[in-house]
């Protein structure tokens, strides 16, 4: 089994042995940065949820990810994967994969199985990686393959030597009536008590849930989470039509925490991002918002280095914003 | 012939044709970030300069670089390469190569040809690349090969998702008596009139020399420069025992300008870096200083995001500092 660090924690002996090797959080590199695909179907066909876990397991395996556990409610089936998450609704699915997964392989298998005529819209996003040279494909490779099936627009936002984000959106003949509000918060170089706990040898799911103040920040949600060994934590949550997912790669050399949710962050959840920023205290962070404008009230002291707002051919309003803590960091040489 | 952009400018028809294709500075990617190697010999042997241009041409070719031109004075032979620069003194050489060159191949060929017993010290440095996945090797690959010949220490300074720098220094039995003061200024996202001129279709060497205020900033130096087509400029300079080299990759997607010099920047040349920063107006920049502490007087308004000071086993005091202009940048999506 794969996982955020090559192995998942479980109660078998081999995993315990792995943990007992006392791996340092400084030594272990893992690519937390996700690729993300969302595929919507034309209305009128059978539900994607009816395809069952066997089907989704096959799709996940194609991206080199395994299904670890799942929760469901009346709207959605949410799977925690060895490499991030999968959410399946009746007429669309959303899959995030980290590590060296080739998510586009899974997307193409899905399109092949269902037939391209059923596909209404594809959105594919890729965040800049820590170690792009270890990836199985580049964004440019990926969109060449996607475009061969579904023509679409692709852009990069952000300088190549800094955080940057890639987005492909397929050309869509039908306008989408209700725009999804989705917010992504990507945090880098987490510091402080939460970061230290997440790098420590003995962790528990209940303590992590407390650290993240999950019940307070996501009231009414049902959760499904997984603690990897020696490090790493993934959680999915559902509440009515809303979803959330958080993935934590805590190790010092490449620490990264991502949140994605379709909660409306302009309303009662307006402080969600600032609450998470204050828990993880990242050196820098990015916000990617689709049809949403999260407010920055309560953010740690920062400068906003750069931002971009654009509208896709599909009509989605997308913004990318890159924040840096307003403080000087003493860097420590890392021996190689 | 290779070059900073695949072709060098010359007066032949093919180069003119290339230029006439009106390539946009936005479209063309070139990896300007350099790898750098310095190899010093034990005293007492024959001079490296006596090996002649044929020898150095062979070494350069091994790194996929060609010698384009040269200047000499009583201390040094300086070569402009299709991928950056080579400086040869009696008892040491310094080679910088950009693009997808594998500089460590050249270093290993040199060591093989002279015999490892003549090598007193090797310092190998690599700056984080814009597109590391296009490189022929990683730093980790490189040091594995270097260490097989000469044991040494290696470190990374800076976060993997931001500018970071790698440095390998061989273990040295003999302490170096006189420390070299070397300063490197690496500028990213250049803006303003100089940047615009360097991206324009019709450029001349004399106009670029004026823009760079070369005679004023480097009085007494002799220069050797090369203008690449459609973009890019390299210059070497010598003055007595001192050297300087500047390499410019102007295109918008990956603009990068580097200066390296052993001029003492605490003395009469104290404003050299700030003068260059005001000419190129980069969005961010790094300074790497060996046994030197360049002052920041006159720098554009900035925040110093991070810095690190360390002493190598060799006794060199090395500092890395990462600066960001204190302004918000409106980012533009780049269509792919």
Nearest-CA distance from A323 to chain B in Å? 10
Has residue B1 got a pLDDT over 50? no
The whole-angstrom distance between residue B103's C-alpha and the CA centroid of its chain comes to: 12
Per-residue confidence (pLDDT) for residue B13, from 0 to 100: 28
Inter-chain touch A161–B188, beta carbons under 8 Å: yes
Inter-chain touch A305–B324, beta carbons under 8 Å: yes
Sort residue B107 into left (φ over 0), alpha (ψ -120 to 50) or beta.
alpha
On chain A, the residues whose CB falls within 8 A of the CB of B162 are: 162, 284
CA-closest candidate to residue B155, choices B144, B146, B145, B168: B168
Beta-bridge partners for A60: none
- Mark A8-19 as b/e (b = at least 16 C-beta within 10 Å): bbeeeeebeebb
d(CA B81, CA B97): 8
d(CA A244, CA A224): 11
The partner residue sitting opposite B331, judged by closest CB among A157, A161, A253, is: A157
Chain A residue at shortest CA distance from B310: A333
> Testing the interface with A: which of B133, B167, B304 to mutate, by most A Cβ within 10 A?
B133
Kindly tell me the burial class for residue A120, based on how many C-beta atoms sit within 10 Å of its own C-beta (0-12, 13-18, 19 or more).
middle
On chain B, the residues whose CB falls within 8 A of the CB of A156 are: 333-334, 336
Nearest-CA distance from B71 to chain A in Å? 33
* Whole-number Cα distances in Å, A309 to A38, A168, A313: 20, 15, 13
**How many CA atoms are closer than 13 Å to the CA of A202, on its beta-carbon side?**
0
d(CA B182, CA B270): 13
d(CA B197, CA B214): 16
- Contact between residue A121 and residue A37 where contact means Cβ atoms under 8 Å apart: no
DSSP state of A281: -
**How many CA atoms are closer than 13 Å to the CA of A201, on its beta-carbon side?**
9
Sort residue B90 into left (φ over 0), alpha (ψ -120 to 50) or beta.
alpha
Residue linked to tokens 């627009």: A153
Helix ranges, chain A (H)? 13-20, 52-62, 103-114, 139-149, 193-198, 205-211, 214-217, 272-280
Per-residue confidence (pLDDT) for residue A186, from 0 to 100: 97
Nearest-CA distance from A7 to chain B in Å? 23
Number of H helices, E strands in chain B: 8, 18
Beta-bridge partners for A123: A38, A169
Pairing of strands B119-127, B84-88: unpaired
> Testing the interface with A: which of B147, B191, B305 to mutate, by most A Cβ within 10 A?
B305
Phi, psi (5° rounding) for residue B103? -65, -30
Chain A residue at shortest CA distance from B333: A157
d(CA B162, CA B145): 26
Beta-bridge partners for B122: B39
The partner residue sitting opposite B132, judged by closest CB among A133, A157, A320, is: A133
d(CA B162, CA A65): 28
Determine how many CB atoms are found less than 10 A away from the CB of residue B31: 21
Identify whether B328 is preceded by a cis peptide bond (ω within 30 of 0): no
Per-residue confidence (pLDDT) for residue B21, from 0 to 100: 37
Max CA distance (Å), chain A = 58
Phi, psi (5° rounding) for residue A82? -60, -30
Size of interface A-B (CB pairs under 8 A): 120
pLDDT per residue as tens, chain A (336 positions): 334 544 444 433 232 233 333 445 555 778 888 999 999 999 888 999 999 999 999 999 999 999 999 999 999 999 999 989 999 999 999 999 988 888 999 999 999 999 999 999 999 999 988 877 788 899 999 999 999 999 999 999 998 888 999 999 999 776 666 678 999 999 999 999 999 999 998 899 999 999 999 999 999 999 999 999 888 999 999 999 999 999 999 988 889 999 999 999 887 788 999 999 999 999 999 999 999 988 889 999 999 999 999 998 888 899 999 999 988 888 888 888
Determine how many CB atoms are found less than 10 A away from the CB of residue A90: 15
3-state secondary structure of B65: coil
Chain B residue at shortest CA distance from A335: B155
3-state secondary structure of B169: strand
Inter-chain touch A307–B330, beta carbons under 8 Å: yes
Residues composing chain B: 336
Mean pLDDT of chain B: 88
Per-residue confidence (pLDDT) for residue B246, from 0 to 100: 98
Chain A residue at shortest CA distance from B152: A336
Sort residue A64 into left (φ over 0), alpha (ψ -120 to 50) or beta.
left
CA-closest candidate to residue B162, choices A303, A24, A133, A331: A331
Inter-chain touch A284–B138, beta carbons under 8 Å: no
Inter-chain touch A308–B333, beta carbons under 8 Å: yes
Has residue B15 got a pLDDT over 90? no
Beta strands in A98-190 (DSSP E): 119-127, 152-157, 165-170, 182-188
Per-residue confidence (pLDDT) for residue A269, from 0 to 100: 82
Chain A residue at shortest CA distance from B285: A161
Q: Which two tokens stand for residue A226?
A: 């997984």
Has residue B9 got a pLDDT over 70? no
B139-149 and B103-114 are packed helices; what angle lies between their axes, rounded to 10 degrees?
A: 10
Per-residue confidence (pLDDT) for residue B27, from 0 to 100: 55
CA-closest candidate to residue B331, choices A178, A286, A70, A301: A286
The partner residue sitting opposite B308, judged by closest CB among A138, A283, A332, is: A332
- Contact between residue A82 and residue A65 where contact means Cβ atoms under 8 Å apart: yes
Inter-chain touch A154–B128, beta carbons under 8 Å: no
Per-residue confidence (pLDDT) for residue B141, from 0 to 100: 93
Residue linked to tokens 């340092």: A24
Phi, psi (5° rounding) for residue B141? -60, -45
Per-residue confidence (pLDDT) for residue A24, from 0 to 100: 55
**pLDDT tens digits for B162-202?**
899 999 999 977 666 667 899 999 999 999 999 999 999 88
Give Cβ neighbours of residue A56 (< 8 Å, ≥ 6 apart): A67, A77, A79, A86, A88, A93
Question: What is the H or E stretch that residue B84 is in?
Answer: strand B84-88
Q: Which two tokens stand for residue A140?
A: 């440019």
Q: Which two tokens stand for residue A79?
A: 């799977």
């Amino acid at each position: 089994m794969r996982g955020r660090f090559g192995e998942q924690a479980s109660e078998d002996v081999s995993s315990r042995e792995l943990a007992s090797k006392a791996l340092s959080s400084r030594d272990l590199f893992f690519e937390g940065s996700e690729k993300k695909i969302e595929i919507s179907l034309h209305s009128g066909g059978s539900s994607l949820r009816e395809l069952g876990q066997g089907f989704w397991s096959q799709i996940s395996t194609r991206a080199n990810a395994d299904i670890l556990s799942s929760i469901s409610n009346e709207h959605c089936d949410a799977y925690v994967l060895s490499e991030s998450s999968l959410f399946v609704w009746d007429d669309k699915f959303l899959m995030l994969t980290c590590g060296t997964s080739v998510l586009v392989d899974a997307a193409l298998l899905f399109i092949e199985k269902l037939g391209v005529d059923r596909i209404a819209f594809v959105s594919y996003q890729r965040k800049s990686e820590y170690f792009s040279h270890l990836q199985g494909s580049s964004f440019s490779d990926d969109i060449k393959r996607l475009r061969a099936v579904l023509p679409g627009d692709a852009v990069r936002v952000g300088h190549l030597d800094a955080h940057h984000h890639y987005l492909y959106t397929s050309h869509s003949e039908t306008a989408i009536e209700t725009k999804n509000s989705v917010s992504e918060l990507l945090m880098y170089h987490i510091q402080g008590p939460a970061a230290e706990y997440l790098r420590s040898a003995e962790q528990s799911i209940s303590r992590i849930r407390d650290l993240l103040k999950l019940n307070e920040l996501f009231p009414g949600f049902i959760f499904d989470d997984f603690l990897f060994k020696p490090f790493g934590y993934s959680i999915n949550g559902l509440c009515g039509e809303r979803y959330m997912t958080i993935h934590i790669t805590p190790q010092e050399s490449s620490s990264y925490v991502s949140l994605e949710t379709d909660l409306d962050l302009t309303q009662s959840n307006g402080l969600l991002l600032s609450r998470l920023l204050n828990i993880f205290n990242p050196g820098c962070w990015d916000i990617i918002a689709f049809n949403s404008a999260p407010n920055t009230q309560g953010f740690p002291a920062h400068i906003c280095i750069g931002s971009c707002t654009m509208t896709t051919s599909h009509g989605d309003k997308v913004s990318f914003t890159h924040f840096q803590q307003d403080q000087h960091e003493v860097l420590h040489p890392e021996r190689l």
